[in-house]
Amino acid sequence: PRLANQIAAGEVVERPANIVKELVENALDAGASRIDIDAEQGGIKLLRIRDDGFGIDKDDLSLALSRHATSKIITLDDLEAVDSLGFRGEALASISSVTRLTLTSHARDAEEAWSVSVEGRDMQASVSPAAHPVGTTVEVRDLFFNTPARRKFLRTEKTEFSHLEEYVKRLALSRYDVAFSLRHNGRTIHQLRPAERGIEKEKRVASLLSAEFIDSAVHIETEAAGLSLQGWVGLPTFSRSQADMQYFFVNGRVVRDKLVVHAIKQAYRDVLYHGRHPAFVLYLTLDPKLVDVNVHPTKHEVRFRDGRLVHDFLFRTLHRALGDVRP
């Protein structure tokens, strides 16, 4: 039953942001080193995600669009060991059922590129030759063109774009080694080069979130008892009320977790008597066996085997770091 629950992802597509998340994760799974995202009208009219990953073989193109045909999971053990982001084998199928989708790919070992287009449930897709460098482009047009009832739940272009951009931020903050670009209605919103050194990472954070945040932030880098924490926490002098500038990654995946937020806020309150809107970008790394990040594929929840240990580690680390800079 647990396996069934974990796979029961439901519909992945509610809004353009969900599509971006799934397609960028696919690109990362394919080993991409650069990902270019193009959106029009909040992503409702068009989303184009292009990567330079290993691509898809001609024979697998149509298969990639069919539900569960590609699920990487076979047993619960597999699920626990899964380290790729996609594991349900249904994202492309779900997306293609509510959009006009074109999948174009040039597999690394192939001579040429191939393309397949589908509209809604119409699955008699035929594969035709295309021009494309090694890698994949997924182009998705007219979200919910065939389901007007769901289209009504979409918000304004601006709101949909900001949701979409939020996912791009999280993904770009989780993979500094990958170049990202994001364009909206022909305008470049983010253009991020791969970042290796600390200073380059700080530049990425500044450009994605806020230069003001990173300028006033305390840098964290601590390891203890098999746990490691890296990143930045903002001081209250960074005073925009940024309830939303809270990014916490566990083994590279973004999570929203009460225990984590509690530990951080408590450290702020203890040291600075102020814990309302701490801003942070933090990366916790621990043995994957000590954490279950697949509790729900879309909710970003996490379950630590030893929550107390993690809570205390976070609290102590931040307590010390903030104490060092207390005015």
**Rounded-to-integer distance, Cα 135 and Cα 132, Å:** 8
Instruction: Give the H/E segment covering residue 304.
Output: strand 303-304
Which helix (H) or strand (E) segment holds residue 157: the answer is helix 157-174
Binding flag, residue 163, ligand ADP (CB under 6 A): no
Nearest distance, CB of residue 27 and ligand ADP, angstroms: 4
Task: Please say whether the dihedral angle defined by the alpha carbons of residues 297, 303, 304 and 310, taken in this order, is positive or negative.
Answer: positive
Find the binder of ligand ADP among 43, 86, 234, 278 (CB under 6 A). Answer: 86
Task: Give the CA angle between residues 209, 215, 221 to the nearest 5°.
Answer: 90
Q: Does 125 bind ligand ADP (CB under 6 A)?
A: no
Which of 16, 86, 278, 297 lies at the binding interface for Mg ion (CB under 5 A)?
86
- Give the nearer residue to ligand ADP in terms of CB position, either 21 or 201: 21
Q: Rounded to whole angstroms, how far apart are CA atoms 95 and 48?
A: 13
Site for ligand ADP in 27-46 (CB under 6 A): 27, 30
Which of 6, 70, 246, 317 is the binder for ligand ADP (CB under 6 A)? 70
Place of tokens 């003001």: 212
Interface pick for ligand ADP out of 39, 87, 169, 201 (rule CB under 6 A): 87
- Which residue shows structure tokens 């102590």? 316
Q: Establish if 68 lies at the interface with ligand ADP (CB under 6 A).
A: no
- Residue 53 binds to ligand ADP (criterion: CB under 6 A): yes
318 near ligand ADP (CB under 6 A): no
Burial class (CB in 10 A: 0-12, 13-18, 19+), 208: buried
Q: Is 280 in the site for ligand ADP (CB under 6 A)?
A: no
Cα distances from 232 to residues 162, 214, 217, in angstroms, run 23, 7, 6
Tracing tokens 């305008």 back to the chain, one arrives at 187
**Cβ closer to Mg ion: 37 or 195?**
37
Q: Quick one: what does residue 6 bind among ligand ADP, Mg ion, none, with the CB cut-off 5 to 8 Å set by partner type? A: none
CB 160 within 8 A of CB 44: yes
Alpha-carbon Rg of the chain, whole angstroms?
21
Site string for Mg ion, 14-33 (x = CB under 5 A): ------------x-------
Q: Is 158 in the site for ligand ADP (CB under 6 A)?
A: no
Cβ proximity to ligand ADP: between 139 and 202 the closer is: 139
* Pairing assessment for the beta strands 280-285 and 246-250 based on DSSP bridges: parallel
Binding positions for ligand ADP, rule: CB under 6 A: 22, 26-27, 30, 51, 53, 55-56, 64, 70, 72, 86-93, 136
Binding positions for Mg ion, rule: CB under 5 A: 26, 86, 91
